[in-house]
Chains A and B, each alone.
Chain A
Amino acid sequence: MIGLRLRTGALALAVLAVAFAWHIAVGAKVIPLATVAEAFWGYDETVFDHVVIRDLRLPRALMAVAVGAGLAVAGALMQGVTRNPLADPGLLGLLAGASFAVVLGTFTGLTSPAVIPVLAAIGALAAASIVWGVASAVPGGASPMTLVLAGAAVTAFLAALTAIMLLIDETSFEALRVWLTGTLAGRPGTAGLWAAGWLVLGLVVALGAARQVTAMAMGDEAATGLGVDVRKLRLAILVSVVALTAAAVALAGPMGFVGLVVPHMVRLVVGHDYRVIVPASAVVGATYLLLADIAARMLLAPVEISTGLITALLGAPVFVWLVRARL
């Protein structure tokens, strides 16, 4: 069993590495993989390709890894703790909340790199509370359906407010417009480092709590019986999900459906132990977003589509299928 796990894990990491290298190689100019390798091991700043790789493509690939891993882990945790196959930071309104808060911050002049992830976290937390509040106020509790419907309402509301802000101040928002569809084309700079801090926080909490999430996925009573402090665990998961969402939004804007699709793919292979699901989701999520970003850049080349559109195109059918199969 352990041996099998190790082998699967090694295979997943190998696939991730290949996707990473491929992601760096493709683009406006296709760079041979040998040159990609050279740029790391024999960096020469007079070679143009090396500079392109180091300054443009490597940051973008790293962003894809960070955002993909963060969103996938957030989705896995949400699905486990709420026992809801349709849980996803996007569907439950967290992405909309975070991006609304960031736009509001830009609107009021709060744009320093350290503040952006904080704003995103506050927005995600507020949206999550509202969605959870509405859904659990419904008699019968927060079912997958009411959660998704409440998430859709919150998303529609915040999206309209965001669009109004963009209209009022058109000039300063040109960059945000693309960012709002979920893109890896931006260059986060120092904000990226701050976001990375949030990401690490979220991942550490997630890995620490993974063991108890497995118990929680069997039901609150079963978890309590197994010695899990359900309230404390919920709080920890909330912190982790909000931190991961905030990091992802600060880096790349709202990237829908990643947190929905990846954990379901992972569960098909590794089963229901969250000690495995959480790290596996991180690796597969990173690979998934790298591939989605490759598609975004190649599909209509030389035009680049927003990566968020690709993840929506891939994820929405999965969502429809889940509704049909699970509800």
Chain B
Amino acid sequence: MSEVIWQKLDGRVTFALPLRAVLVFVVLLFVVFAITLIALMSGSFPMSATDALRSLAGNPPPDMATTVVWEFRLPRALAAAMAGALLAGSGAVLQTVTRNALADPSLVGVSQGAGLAVVTVLVIFPETPIGLRPVLAFAGALAVATLIQAIAMRRTGGATMRFILTGIGVAAFLGAVTQAMLTYGDLNRAMAALGWLAGSVHAAGWGDVQVLCISLALLIPAMIWAARPLAALRMGPEIATGLGSAVTRDRAALITLSVALAACAVAMVGPLAFVGLIAPHLARRLARSGPGLHLALSLAIGAALVAGADLIGRIAFAPVQIPAGLVTAVIGAPVFGWLLLQHAKS
């Protein structure tokens, strides 16, 4: 593996940059851009790439193009990409902290906790401003994460498989409560909540994009901070302690970060399954790197995944729109099965 190594002050400041990982990251950014462009072009009002780009630049060919691109397709594509990035980051952090290759926010009930909080609010207090939703989702998700940790943490400090199984049980329970809430609630509100629960970005507008932007802006610095404790924790709690990290504190902070990342995404686009599972693995397979760059790669892959899933869901059975969450589940579940085989081997 080729690395660019940068030394200053006789090697006291050294900086190694794995070239391949950086290259992959740049390629991934292009992929995200390409998917966004295709998303802008395709739909019931198709347009050429140049037309799409020209309307983006504020120099649209016919009148309709501006509305279609700016009001419908662009916010939707952006929301998909950003939500995907958030979920992927959440999964990457969670997998490293729990040292469990199968951890995913939607699998262990974190997403469902956020989902329940949001559905409760959608059904009971529909007038709640959209900006508050991530906060509520975060509260719900954090409560669930704490609960699962408390249950799973018993003999061996949160044995990994038990963590996942407990999460599956908690997720089933929360799912049933959410469903019951929908039966009880007013039909129209329930229908709105139902579409959201399938993990769909088709109603995403600039309001959602704004909230997602703010979430990313707040959480990216936290992720940059997280790179260091993640690097220590990934070698196991004993070695991390030996390296001088406060394991309990770091673990709690990182799980909170992971929960926050998932909650922000879930609040806006619903619980998209398996993105947090696939993206970090794909990132690891594409390029070996330290945890910081791995996080960045995961974010880019997550963005590409959800944007791609939304695009597929939009055009595969047009005019019927398949929510992105269903597409990611169809792709993600077999990957999960395959990972299960790999996981037990190692």
Residues of A at the B interface (CB closer than 8 Å) are 86, 134, 137-140, 145-146, 148-150, 152-154, 156-157, 159-161, 163-164, 167-168, 181, 256-257, 300, 303-306, 308-310, 312-313, 315-317, 319-320, 323-324, 327
Closest chain B residue to A158, Cβ basis: B333
By the criterion CB–CB under 8 Å, are B333 and A153 in contact? yes
Query: Given the complex, which residues of B lie within 8 Å of A161, measured CB to CB?
Result: 330
Smallest beta-carbon distance B192→chain A, Å? 16
* Contact between B337 and A316, CB atoms less than 8 A apart: no
Is A157 a contact of B334 with CB atoms below 8 Å?
A: yes
Minimum CB–CB distance for A144 against chain B, Å: 9
Chain B: minimal CB distance from A306 (Å)? 7
A-B interface contact total, Cβ < 8 Å: 127
**Chain A residues positioned under 8 Å from B326 (CB to CB):** 160, 163-164, 167
The 9 closest A-B pairs by CB, nearest first: A157-B333, A160-B329, A316-B173, A312-B176, A320-B169, A138-B344, A319-B169, A316-B172, A153-B336
Of the four ranges (under 10, 10 to 19, 20 to 34, 35 or more), the interface on chain B belongs to 35 or more
Query: Which of A145, A168, A303 interacts with B317 by CB under 8 Å?
Result: A168
Asked if A137 and B341 make an inter-chain contact with CB atoms under 8 angstroms apart, the answer reads yes
B183 and A300 contacting across the interface, CB-CB below 8 Å: yes
When C-beta atoms are compared, the residue in chain A nearest to B170 turns out to be A320
Q: Per-position contact with A for B309-341: 1 when CB-CB < 8 Å, else 0? A: 000000001001111011101101110110011
Most chain A CB within 10 A, of B102, B154, B170, B330, is at B330
Q: From the candidates B162, B329, B344, name the one contacting A159 in the complex (CB within 8 A).
A: B329
Do the beta carbons of A312 and B173 come within 8 Å of each other?
yes
Cα distance, A137 to B340, chains bound together (Å) = 10
Minimal Cβ-Cβ distance residue in A for B107 = A152
- CB of B196, distance to nearest CB on chain A (Å): 14
| Most chain A beta-carbon contacts within 10 A, residue among B169, B173, B332, B341 | B169
Q: Are A148 and B333 also in contact (CB < 8 A) when A138-B340, A168-B320 are?
A: no
List, in ascending order, chain A residues with CB within 8 A of B120's CB: none
Q: B48 to chain A: closest CB distance in Å?
A: 29
Residue pair B329, A157 in contact (C-beta under 8 Å) = yes
Cα A146 to Cα B342 in complex, Å, equals: 12
Contact B165 A145 (CB under 8 A): yes
Is the contact region of chain B dominated by helix, strand, or loop, or is it mixed?
Answer: helix
Shortest Cβ distance from residue B124 to the other chain A in the assembled complex, whole angstroms: 14
Closest to A327 in B: B162
Q: Is B286 an interface residue (CB 8 A)?
A: no
The verdict on B180 contacting chain A, using a C-beta distance below 8 Å, is yes
Are B322 and A164 in contact, with the CB atoms below 8 A? yes
Q: B154's closest neighbor in chain A, by CB? A: A324
As a 0/1 sequence over residues 181 to 220 of chain B, the CB contacts with chain A under 8 angstroms (1 = contact) are: 0011000000000000010000000000000000000000
User: Which residues of chain A come closer than 8 Å to B337, judged between CB atoms?
Assistant: 134, 150, 153-154
Task: Write the chain A residue with the least CB distance to B321.
Answer: A167
Interfacial residues, chain B to chain A (CB-CB below 8 A): 102, 107, 151-152, 154, 161-162, 164-166, 168-170, 172-173, 175-177, 179-180, 183-184, 198, 273-274, 317, 320-323, 325-327, 329-330, 332-334, 336-337, 340-341, 344-345
Inter-chain contact B340/A324, CB cutoff 8 Å: no
Whole-angstrom CA separation of A140 from B344 in the bound complex: 8
- Asked if A256 contacts B172 (CB within 8 A), the reply is yes
The smallest beta-carbon distance between B164 and chain A, in angstroms, is 7
Give chain B residues whose Cβ lies under 8 Å from the Cβ of A181. 179
B151 touches A324 (CB 8 A): yes
* CB-nearest residue of chain B to A91: B168
* A148 and B168 contact, Cβ closer than 8 Å, known pairs A134-B340, A312-B175, A327-B162: yes
Contact A160:B333 (CB < 8 A) given known A145-B161, A149-B164, A309-B179: yes
User: Using Cβ atoms and an 8 Å threshold, which residues of chain A touch B177?
Assistant: 313
Residue on A with the closest CB to B198? Answer: A163
The answer to whether B184 and A300 touch across the interface, beta carbons within 8 angstroms, is: yes
Residues of chain A lying within 8 A (CB to CB) of residue B320: 167-168
Q: Report Cα–Cα, A139/B170, bound state, in Å.
A: 28
Could you say which of B176, B326, B334 has the most chain A C-beta atoms within 10 Å of its C-beta?
Answer: B176
A312 and B172 within 8 A (CB): yes
Q: How far is the CB of B49 from chain A (nearest CB, A)?
A: 29
A139 touches B344 (CB 8 A): yes
Looking at the complex, which one of B173, B176, B273 makes contact with A156 (CB distance below 8 Å)?
A: B273
Do A323 and B166 touch across chains, with their CB atoms under 8 A apart? yes
Contact flag A152-B173 (CB < 8 Å), given A160-B333, A167-B320, A305-B183: no
Query: Contacts A312-B176, A316-B170, A327-B161; is A146 near B340 (CB within 8 Å)?
Result: yes
Residues in B whose Cβ lies below 8 Å from that of A320: 151, 166, 169-170, 173
